[in-house]
């Protein structure tokens, strides 16, 4: 990632590159 992002368990997210979605998911467990 270009910059850190705060995330909580259960949060859905999408990873975009050049305006196109290249990945998506949901945070299931925080390990750190």
| CA gap 16, 2 in Å, rounded | 11
Per-residue pLDDT tens digits for 1-32: 688 889 999 999 999 999 999 999 999 999 87
This prediction has a pTM of 0.63
Range of the domain at 30: 1-32
Region label for 16, one of left (φ > 0), alpha (ψ between -120 and 50) or beta (otherwise)? beta
For the domain that residue 19 is a member of, what is the CATH number?
A: 2.40.30.10
Count of the separate structural domains present in the chain: 1
């Amino acid at each position: 990632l270009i910059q850190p992002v705060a995330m909580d368990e259960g949060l859905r997210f999408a990873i975009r590159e050049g305006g196109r979605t290249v990945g998506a998911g949901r945070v299931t467990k925080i390990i750190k």
